[in-house]
Amino acid sequence: MTGPSAPRCTGQFSFLEHAFLAPYNKPYLTTDQQVALLKSRGMSITDEARAKACLSRIGYYRLSAYWYPNRKSEKYIDATSGREKTRVLDDFRDGTHFSDALDFYVFDKKLRLLVLDALERVEVGIRTDIAVLLGTHDPWVHRDPSKLHGNFSRPNVPPSRLAQIQNLSRQRPQPTRRAIAQAVGVSVKTVNFVIGNPRKASQSKLDEWLSRLDDKFKKSKEDFAKHFKEKYPNDTPPIWVAVELWDFGTLSHFFSGMKIGDQNTIAAHYGLPSGDILEGWLRNLNDVRNFCAHHSRLWNRSMPFIPMWTSTGDIVELDHLVGKSDSLSRFYASVVILRHLLKVINPTTEWSNRLIEHVQTLPANPYVTLQSAGFPEDWIDQDIWK
């Protein structure tokens, strides 16, 4: 196929590829039908009225994340790669009860509330650290590209290459995007980015970050924001005021854009050898915060971002996770991070004791264990929890 109707290799599905994908055709099910379906797949439901009430209040798909570990699985050989893989089946393992999923759901809900308490303290603490340190450089340091890391303040696409891509894309006949990429010396992805979103391509990460911050300030109904806007209508807030508008994502992104020396200074306050470790920790905690805020399952999941860790001997109480990829990629690493930071932010906190008490209430289930969340068998004996 040639000409304008031919599918292009853009990294997306072509029309023909879409044509062979099966459409979603599962029917709507009432709670009665949902209960019947679960029972037909091997789940024991002794109190159907309670099960239907829970499905009506919580939702089938939210609860399905909590019975997923109890579904059967089987090994198979992938026809394309020839490798052995595992597929999860619809039927449940023997001995699966609806109450297993419900108990796990309640446990995870309480866990999220407990973690949110720690995240709030960490967010406020590190926001204040940044305001105190960077405020000595300049009240509006967060708006000054010269006082931030170059990777944060430089345009997403250098102006010269942006102009080259735009000029080539205006030629007629228009060169292919691959040809433009080769001519300019960039990736096809960069060409697609410039053509699809030229305004964003010309901006820096700082520009985008400030745009979101200014929008928050403009819309804020907080008393401090209203007072500032009334008293100083021609000014933007200094950093020690601006931090009060930051959420965890805003904090994480800004910390990543700070100069290395400033990152290191704040990291040293927490006993960490370098700022890039704290940067990764904040990114990991931001993912955790998003899971909690959106009521997503927290316990037995892989984290999107695996945090950089200290080396053996840097901080003794963190040594038990050095090189432990199974723990670092799971929830356990996140609670260790929270515990370590809270020991500095609030040394007298009882948060770790409350976490220990709650983890010990994990419902008995051979397919949902401490190891499912990356907890080592001897985790409670580690120095970090003493």
Is the same domain home to 279 and 378? yes
How far is the CA of 203 from the CAs of 53, 132, 277, in angstroms? 50, 28, 27
Is the same domain home to 264 and 350? yes
**Cβ proximity of 153 and 204 under 8 Å:** yes
> At 148, phi and psi to the nearest 5?
-125, 170
- Closest of 374, 299, 365, 373 to residue 92, by C-alpha: 365
The verdict on pTM exceeding 0.85 is: yes
**Environment class of residue 210 by beta-carbon count within 10 Å: exposed (0-12), middle (13-18) or buried (19+)?**
middle
- 257 falls within a domain: yes
- 349 falls within a domain: yes
- H or E, element range at 172: none
**Cβ proximity of 303 and 355 under 8 Å:** no
Is the same domain home to 138 and 247? yes
Q: What is the pLDDT of residue 24?
A: 81
| pLDDT per position as a tens digit, 164-179 | 999 999 999 989 999 9
Is the same domain home to 336 and 289? yes
| pLDDT per position as a tens digit, 245-291 | 999 999 999 999 999 999 999 999 999 999 999 999 999 999 999 99
Q: What is the pLDDT of residue 21?
A: 66
- 328 falls within a domain: yes
Is the same domain home to 196 and 332? no
Is the same domain home to 291 and 199? no
Alpha helix stretches (DSSP H) within the chain: 15-19, 31-40, 48-58, 60-67, 98-135, 150-153, 159-169, 177-184, 188-196, 198-202, 205-219, 223-231, 239-242, 248-256, 260-269, 275-293, 325-328, 331-345, 351-359
Question: Per-residue DSSP letters for 315-326?
Answer: SGGGGGGTT-HH
Q: What is the pLDDT of residue 128?
A: 98
- 212 falls within a domain: no
**Helices and strands (H and E) in the chain: how many:** 19, 2
Is the same domain home to 361 and 313? yes
Is the same domain home to 295 and 363? yes
- 10 falls within a domain: no
- 79-88, 136-145, 341-350: the lowest-pLDDT one: 79-88
**Which tokens in the block code for residue 353?**
């004791």
Please name every residue paired with 142 in a beta bridge, in sequence order, or none if there are none. Answer: none
Print the domain residue range for 65.
Answer: 29-96
SS3 for 375?
A: coil
How far is the CA of 250 from the CAs of 212, 253, 255, 325, in angstroms? 9, 5, 9, 28
| For residue 9, pLDDT beyond 90 | no
Q: What is the pLDDT of residue 6?
A: 38
Residue after which a domain boundary falls, among 96, 115, 136:
96
| pLDDT per position as a tens digit, 45-98 | 999 999 999 999 999 999 999 999 999 999 999 988 999 999 999 999 999 999
**Cβ proximity of 201 and 194 under 8 Å:** yes
- 211 falls within a domain: no
**Environment class of residue 371 by beta-carbon count within 10 Å: exposed (0-12), middle (13-18) or buried (19+)?**
middle
Is the same domain home to 243 and 345? yes
Please name every residue paired with 258 in a beta bridge, in sequence order, or none if there are none. Answer: 148
132, amino acid identity = V
Is the same domain home to 193 and 62? no
- Which residue would you say has higher pLDDT here, 385 or 7? 385
- 225 falls within a domain: no
Is the same domain home to 182 and 128? no
Distance CA 363, CA 327 (A): 20
Is the same domain home to 286 and 358? yes
- 166 falls within a domain: yes
User: What percent of the chain is predicted at pLDDT more than 90?
Assistant: 90
Q: What is the pLDDT of residue 20?
A: 56
| For residue 12, pLDDT beyond 60 | no
Number of domains in the chain: 3
Report the pLDDT averaged over residues 303-328: 96
Q: What is the pLDDT of residue 13?
A: 44
| For residue 7, pLDDT beyond 90 | no
Longest alpha-carbon distance in the chain: 71
For residue 38, give every residue at least 6 positions away whose Cβ sits within 8 Å of its Cβ, in sequence order, or none: 45, 51, 92, 98
Please name every residue paired with 92 in a beta bridge, in sequence order, or none if there are none. Answer: 71
